[in-house]
Structure 1
């Protein structure tokens, strides 16, 4: 194994990233997901693979809740991007949260 400048064993960026994701998924994202109402979950499932235009989200929702109400709540919680540059685009803000949703939800 390679030893870094401070004498510690370098386990590699991939290992560290895998461990960080594991902790985020089990300690944080699972709790967040369980506390979300169905309408908010529906939006997050749609945008989990990447940013989507409002129109695309509405088409996929097919009347499964109010986009405006649920997206506003998600923005207030900091789960969806809320800025002038993202107007009309739904995008998850948390790192790897989309990946968590796609794998486990």
Structure 2
């Protein structure tokens, strides 16, 4: 299962946890979820260049369209994932992706 650029567009913590819980519901025990978000550095750069308005813990990238962005690190995704019953996968290799934070999560075996 993949969850690509979802967490970073949700404007509140509860919605981010629910999104991970929803992803976990589609994964069998022992299965994996790959989560990718825009990195904090990427969002900070985009916000400065786009004159985005601060909102809660991120920015409105377009107030008129109601679009929100927040940079989320792999460490923060890990903390959110624990609330959804997921944990970092042991031995999962990472990829150097500029502007992207990502992590492979595992659903515990029963």
Task: Give the TM-score of the pair, scaled to structure 2.
Answer: 0.31
Structure holding more strand per residue: 2
Q: Which structure has the bigger radius of gyration?
A: 1
Structure holding more helix per residue: 1
Identify which of structures 1 and 2 has the higher relative contact order when contacts are C-alpha pairs closer than 8 Å and 6+ apart: 2
Task: Give the TM-score of the pair, scaled to structure 1.
Answer: 0.32
